[in-house]
Amino acid sequence: MKPQRLLSVGADAKTVKGRKSGYETAILYLAPHTLSGTNLCPMATAGCSAACLFTAGRGAMVATQAARMKRTMFFLSDRAGFIAQVAQEVDLFVRSCERKGMFPAIRLNGTSDIRWERIPVAGAANIMDLFPTVQFYDYTKLPNRRDLPANYDLTYSLAEGSRNWTGHLAALENGYGVAVVLRGAGSSRWPIPFPATWNGRPLVDGDRNDLRFTDPKPCYVGLRAKGQAVRDTSGFVYDVRGNEHVQ
């Protein structure tokens, strides 16, 4: 049986912060990496797999994880039916935002890293082209995503390892923002302000909201460790003072 609902609205503490700026955000959460038996995060590292937001907030609840797995099974078994339902829910979400006087924002890779720009829907090249006036955005570890729709904003996710480090440098040169989880700026509950720069680039506080498409790029996006990332020893979490080890 397919899930009744695929998109989540107002289901996490971070995206609701965007309401102060007039944005309502809908997110699609799937089972990350290889938890479903199929890898939905092809460039995942050991550190990001262990620290994934699948384990943070409501994601730590068994019922929430089961719901995400059910959506993932639907995606894997009926790609066309899945993306058609996503499109239908996006349409309803946009209409709801219009009634509320809010701007809609859609994040389809809440806990996955799928190239949505390559999946056609309803005669359009992708769901972004189907809703050209709606802002879509995601985080990604895939460094070679090019020729994206104008309304699809990507932020590269920095993790451990030389391959990811090289990819993030290319992302900066291409004008992307780069999200980095930082240790030494306080906890999520008692945050100490981030510095203005990190590794010679402007650093914005990514925990103030999730509206990455509003960031001045290129820049780093500082994130405080959450969930299992608090105990990271892999190198996925970086020191707030800068990169102090060779990648």
What was the pLDDT predicted at 243? 55
Residue 19 has pLDDT above 50, yes or no: yes
Please report, as a single letter, which amino acid is at residue 47.
G
Task: Find out whether 235 and 161 touch, Cβ atoms under 8 Å.
Answer: yes
Confidence class for position 228, pLDDT limits 50, 70, 90: confident
137-171: burial string, b at 16+ Cβ within 10 Å, e else? bbbbbbbebeeebebbbbbbbbbbbeebeebbbeb
What was the pLDDT predicted at 77? 95
Task: Find out whether 109 and 28 touch, Cβ atoms under 8 Å.
Answer: yes
Helix ranges restricted to H, 52-199: 62-77, 79-100, 127-130, 162-173
**Mean pLDDT of the residues in the chain:** 88
What separation in angstroms does the CA of 42 have from each of 34, 141, 171, 193?
A: 9, 8, 17, 33
For residues 122-134, average pLDDT: 97
Task: Find out whether 140 and 156 touch, Cβ atoms under 8 Å.
Answer: yes
In the chain, where are the structural domains located? 7-239
Q: What is the pLDDT of residues 171-188, one digit of tens each?
A: 999 889 999 999 877 666
Task: Point out which residues pair with 155 in neighbouring strands.
Answer: 139, 177
Bond into 218 cis (ω within 30): yes
What was the pLDDT predicted at 247? 38
Q: What is the pLDDT of residues 61-91, one digit of tens each?
A: 567 778 889 999 999 999 999 999 999 999 9
- What percentage of the chain carries pLDDT values higher than 90? 62
Least confident of 17-21, 49-53, 118-122, 134-138: 49-53
How far, in Å, CA of 41 to CA of 164, rounded? Answer: 13
